Amino acid sequence: MATTPTADDIRRALADNAVPGLRDVAAREQAAVAAVLRRGAVGLEMLFILRAEHPRDPWSGHMGWPGGRLDPDDPSPLAAAVRETREELGLDLDRDGELLGALPEARTHLRRPGMPHWVASFVFALETSPELTLNYEVCETHWVPLAFLLDRRNRGRYVWTGRGIPMILPCYRFEGRVIWGLTLGMLDHLLDALRRVA
């Protein structure tokens, strides 16, 4: 994009996407995340968290968006994303955020029962920048300028080894952290949509 995108640009880019609903699978096989944006010194910035190391978290130690598995009493994936963001960061998106739209659901590589097979992602804009209170699931937070993510020159490569086989995958590196994998795939949907409306 020639200029830094605005919240209105993002709303337009996501306008045709359906809001994901509950799937006919167990709640624990669905997850939901929130891509949170705020106004920064150089335009919009996106919030990423570094997940704490935990043996039962398939994305343990990864950079991602706040969120997690649905609980059986969550009425929707959107409600789960809002609840998880409040639990992980003390950030109340119902109060402080504006829903701009949803991204297409992402299919995970996980196949075991009880693990998330689908991830719904929702994009929010903050009017203010509330203080974040990290719980035990989150080690760090990083606000990454959207302009940095839209600049293709900032793409790099990451070597991930699965089952003893190294694979070279795309990534972003920001402040010593790597954004890759499922989160990068969901992020790319947003970036591609923004480029189409530019």
Could you read off the pLDDT of 78-126 as tens digits, one per residue? Answer: 999 999 999 999 999 999 999 999 999 988 865 666 666 789 999 999 9
Count of structural domains within the chain:
1
| Residue 67, in any domain of the structure | yes
Could you read off the pLDDT of 131-177 as tens digits, one per residue? Answer: 999 999 999 999 999 999 999 999 999 998 878 889 899 999 999 99
Pairing type for strands 155-162 and 165-174 reads antiparallel
Nearest to 76 by CA among 110, 132, 134, 120: 120
| Residue 145, in any domain of the structure | yes
Which region holds residue 119: left if phi is over 0, alpha if psi is between -120 and 50, else beta?
beta
Structural domain of 30:
7-197
CATH number at residue 12: 3.90.79.10
Q: What pLDDT, on the 0 to 100 scale, is given for residue 112?
A: 65
